[in-house]
Amino acid sequence: GQQVMQIPQYQHVQEGEDFTTYCNSSTTLSNIQWYKQRPGGHPVFLIQLVKSGEVKKQKRLTFQFGEAKKNSSLHITATQTTDVGTYFCALRASGGSYIPTFGRGTSLIVHP
């Protein structure tokens, strides 16, 4: 299936610091989705990016889709303890399977 590289695997931050996770593909993507899974919970949809260079914001979260549509990032400004969890990207290659492939996720640990 589609190869997805998501980095880093883990990230420890002090509350108030910024956080970024990256999702990379070797092939051009049709779209990318981001999900968040709280500890002990299930993934919850955050956002979808479709257009080249697209930037979307949700409060302290900023999502970007690369110009070449091969990568994406999720940036959290001034992390809070409520941001703790694992962030997954799910991507679909252009012309490939219409079923999205999930990355391995980045686990964010926020220290108060």
Instruction: Provide CB contacts within 8 A for 58, sequence distance 6+.
Output: 46, 47
Q: Which SS3 state, helix, strand or coil, does residue 67 take?
A: coil
DSSP state for residue 95 in the 8-state scheme: T
- 19 vs 88 by CB, closer to other proteins: 88
Q: Which stretch binds other proteins (CB under 8 A): 18-26, 61-69, 71-79, 103-111?
A: 103-111
**Cβ-based neighbour number of residue 55 at 10 Å:** 11
Q: Which of residues 60-99 bind other proteins (CB under 8 A)?
A: 88, 90, 92, 97-99
Shortest Å, Cβ 8 to other proteins: 12
Check binding of 6 to other proteins (CB under 8 A).
yes
**Which two three-digit tokens encode residue 68?**
């070449």
Shortest Å, Cβ 17 to other proteins: 23
What is the Cα–Cα distance from 62 to 106, expressed in whole angstroms? 16
| Binding stretches for other proteins (CB under 8 A) | 1, 6, 9, 30-31, 33, 35, 41-45, 48, 50, 88, 90, 92, 97-105
